[in-house]
């Protein structure tokens, strides 16, 4: 059993590491390592400039011959085969569309068309191209490095308003290609100066950035806000307090309440942590291996206190000689750091596929959703999936339904649990699914009746 206890939280836990999962010679083995660590999500960049180095004839066509999705296709198929959900981050304006990778395209419609093509390709509608649920738009757009300009020649803030336009264009395309997709606003860096300083990179703090995005587009549609709450130094503890409007792990509650105010949201704003990590020795900014493991436990414990944080992505899985950032859980020589095993314990407990669900007491046949991503590797949308359920209360088996379900376009199935929960009771449901190929998947659900 896992050794780390954080209560009842559930969230997608995984990695952002394109080198490890796409380009290294051992990328297949690294996907296996992610699965062994119980990862449930892998974040990957979709570099528009590299996928479309020349202008496509039909930019909205997910199979336009100009597009090169080969390594991304392989990653997404590999993730599906291991039951892992992918997340794709679109960024990087090609030279045919705009002046530089970190600039807006001359015509925002070109980004909309590309985003539509990406989302349609991975909408589940085309056999052999798995479903992708989660998307981000641009990396750290509050930094001039990734989105320029942040300030105009007179020192006035322009970056947030530019990003509002950029995001809206991509959001429209993604939803047009796949209406089930969830799109995160931001992927912001943890800090910024909020003023032009000569000789230094122009930056906005995340709090001020989102406030100005909302001012520019108060009715902007998004499904979540994505953020990178790194401490100011990799050696700093996860509990580090920073001056608002910079945002660390400990100040995420203030960010969430502010987002509700700025964007006039009545319900909680989901916040995706799409990058976080602590480097290790011998990097000068690193900590020793055991401290990295301890900081990881503490970081996840903080995130677990926030019910509106359904995602936590660690940067990176595998240290690489070509990357100066050494926060991986696997050293360059292949040694597993202690944090690898800590991560596996945490990810197992947080696994959203082993769902914690609140159901209404006295109402029969509560409906649950079950991940069948591995089965979708060989079974088409609509395939029949057998579901064996054992509903347990204490030491007693109270129901043993065996329904059949149809594989959904998103690689999940929806099925009722044939029993009537009693208010005030907590039930455990052991689930085993099977298909005609003999593939099986098992989950453990917790149903709390209220």
- List pLDDT tens digits, range 267-276: 999 999 999 9
Using pLDDT thresholds of 50, 70 and 90, give the confidence band for residue 47: very high
**Phi, psi dihedral angles at 323 (to 5 degrees):** -130, 120
Phi-psi region at 222: left, alpha or beta (left = phi > 0; alpha = psi -120 to 50): beta
Which pLDDT value is given to residue 378?
96
Which pLDDT value is given to residue 322?
87
Which residues, 6 or more positions from 261, have their beta carbon under 8 angstroms from its beta carbon? none
Which residues, 6 or more positions from 182, have their beta carbon under 8 angstroms from its beta carbon? 133, 134, 135, 223, 224
**How high does pLDDT run on average in the chain?**
96
Locate 259 and state its tokens. 């987002």
Q: Above 50 in pLDDT, residue 37?
A: yes
Which pLDDT value is given to residue 1?
30
pLDDT tens string 171-192 = 999 999 999 999 999 999 999 9
Give which of 81, 54, 78, 76 is closest to 66, Cα–Cα. Answer: 54
Which pLDDT value is given to residue 250?
97
Q: Above 60 in pLDDT, residue 380?
A: yes
Locate 426 and state its tokens. 């907590």
Which pLDDT value is given to residue 300?
97
Output the pTM of the full model: 0.97
Computed over its alpha carbons, how large is the radius of gyration of the chain?
A: 22
Q: Above 60 in pLDDT, residue 156?
A: yes
Q: Above 70 in pLDDT, residue 5?
A: no
pLDDT tens string 435-446 = 999 999 999 999
Which residues, 6 or more positions from 125, have their beta carbon under 8 angstroms from its beta carbon? 409
Q: What is the 3-state secondary structure (H, E, C) of 133-194?
A: CEEEECCCCCECCCCCCCECCCCCECHHHHHHHHHHHHHHHHHHHCCCCEEEEEEECCCCCC
Locate 82 and state its tokens. 């291991």
Locate 228 and state its tokens. 């990178």
The residue-averaged pLDDT of 255-270 equals 98
pLDDT tens string 310-325 = 999 999 999 999 888 9
Is the separation of the CB atoms in 257 and 304 below 8 Å?
no
């Amino acid at each position: 059993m896992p050794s780390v206890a954080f209560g009842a939280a559930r969230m997608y836990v995984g990695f952002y590491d394109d080198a490890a999962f796409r380009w290294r010679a051992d990328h297949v083995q690294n996907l296996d390592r992610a699965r062994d660590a119980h990862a449930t999500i892998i974040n990957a960049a979709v570099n528009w400039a590299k996928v479309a180095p020349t202008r496509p004839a039909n930019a909205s066509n997910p199979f336009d011959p100009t597009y090169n999705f080969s390594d991304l296709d392989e990653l997404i198929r590999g993730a599906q085969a291991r039951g892992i959900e992918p997340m794709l981050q679109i960024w990087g304006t090609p030279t045919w569309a705009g002046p530089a990778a970190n600039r807006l395209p001359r015509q925002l419609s070109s980004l909309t068309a590309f985003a539509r093509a990406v989302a349609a390709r991975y909408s589940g509608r085309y056999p052999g191209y798995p479903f992708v649920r989660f998307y981000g738009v641009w990396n750290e757009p509050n930094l001039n490095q990734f989105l320029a300009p942040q300030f105009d020649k007179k020192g006035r803030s322009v970056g947030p308003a530019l990003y509002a336009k950029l995001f809206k264009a991509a959001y429209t395309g993604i939803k047009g290609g796949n209406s089930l997709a969830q799109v995160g606003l931001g992927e912001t860096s943890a800090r910024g100066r909020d003023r032009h300083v000569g000789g230094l990179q122009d930056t906005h703090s995340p709090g001020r950035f989102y406030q100005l995005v909302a001012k520019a587009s108060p009715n902007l549609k998004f499904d979540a806000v994505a953020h990178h709450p790194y401490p100011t130094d990799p050696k700093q503890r996860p509990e580090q307090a920073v001056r608002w409007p910079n945002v660390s792990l400990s100040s995420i509650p203030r960010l969430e309440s502010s987002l509700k105010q700025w964007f006039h949201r009545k319900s909680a704003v989901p916040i995706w942590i799409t990058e976080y990590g602590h480097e290790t020795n011998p990097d000068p900014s690193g900590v020793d291996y055991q401290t990295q493991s301890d900081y990881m436990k503490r970081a996840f414990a903080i995130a677990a206190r926030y019910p509106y944080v359904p995602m936590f992505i660690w940067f990176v899985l595998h240290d690489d000689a070509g990357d100066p950032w050494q926060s991986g859980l696997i050293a360059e020589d292949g040694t597993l750091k202690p944090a690898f095993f800590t991560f596996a314990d945490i990810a197992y407990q947080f696994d959203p596929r082993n769902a914690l669900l609140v159901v209404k007491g006295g109402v029969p046949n509560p409906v649950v959703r079950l991940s069948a991503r591995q089965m979708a590797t060989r079974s088409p949308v609509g395939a029949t999936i057998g579901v064996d359920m054992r509903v347990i209360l204490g030491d007693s088996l109270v129901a043993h339904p065996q329904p059949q379900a149809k594989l959904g376009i998103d690689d999940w199935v929806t099925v009722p649990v044939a029993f009537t929960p009693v208010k005030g009771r907590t039930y455990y449901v052991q689930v085993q699914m099977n298909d005609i190929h003999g593939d099986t998947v098992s989950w453990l659900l917790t149903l709390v009746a209220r």
